Amino acid sequence: KKLSQKVIKDTKDKITLIEANLDDQTGEGLGYVMQKLMNAGAYDVFFTPIQMKKDRPATKITVLGNISDQLLLIKIILKETSTIGVRYQHWHRVVMQRRFEKVTTDYGEIKIKIATYGNVEKKIPEYIDCAQIAHRKNISFINVYQSAIIAAQHLN
């Protein structure tokens, strides 16, 4: 089960953030390694466009993960990218508590993530549910997403 789909009750933790600069790797290979890292349990992986010396356009890869997975994630980066070194740090996090409800829209059932922190509350339709319905029924993703927001208005 992915982190973003788990019920979360604590509101504080610590994570590892791992980075490497890549100027001798192709974009194709980077799409591949993002998938590898997500499959290995990384909380998140993202790319930032950077500009390195000698007129080189390059990509910074950033991986967020559980501290106990740090070595595993570093090894994947060293194996699957052209970098010969990675840097990392621990970061603190504040996270909202999360639970899930289902709502019924004209188009079908959609899961709603309800996130709370103090008196802040947010209701976020699950991307995958909206995307699957939109695809199957040939309506626009925006329409499905908005119908989920409408259906979720009386949830609490």
Which residues from 4-33 bind Ni ion, rule CB under 5 A?
Answer: 24
Is the Cβ–Cβ distance between 16 and 89 less than 8 Å?
yes
What are 43's two structure tokens? 């909380």
Sign of CA dihedral 7, 11, 13, 18: positive
Taking the C-alpha atoms of residue 75 and residue 117, their distance in angstroms, rounded to an integer, is 35
Residue 50 binds: one of its own copies, Ni ion, none (C-beta under 5 to 8 A by kind): its own copies
Using the rule CB under 8 A, is 122 a contact of its own copies? yes
β-sheet with 108-117: strand ranges across = 97-105, 108-117, 120-125
Residue 10 binds: one of Ni ion, its own copies, none (C-beta under 5 to 8 A by kind): none
- Number of residues in contact with its own copies, rule: CB under 8 A? 75
- HSE at residue 33, side-chain half, CA atoms within 13 A, is 27
Using the rule CB under 8 A, is 66 a contact of its own copies? no
Residue 111 binds: one of Ni ion, its own copies, none (C-beta under 5 to 8 A by kind): none
**Structural Rg of the chain based on CA atoms:** 19
Is the Cβ–Cβ distance between 117 and 11 less than 8 Å?
yes
Tell me 5's DSSP state.
G
Site for its own copies in 8-37 (CB under 8 A): 15, 17, 21-35
Binding residue (CB under 8 A) for its own copies from 40, 95, 108, 111: 95
Site for its own copies in 67-86 (CB under 8 A): 74-75, 78-82, 84-86
Using the rule CB under 8 A, is 55 a contact of its own copies? yes
Using the rule CB under 8 A, is 104 a contact of its own copies? no
Q: Tell me whether residue 9 or residue 53 sits nearer to its own copies (CB atom).
A: 53
**Where does this chain bind Ni ion (CB under 5 A)?**
24
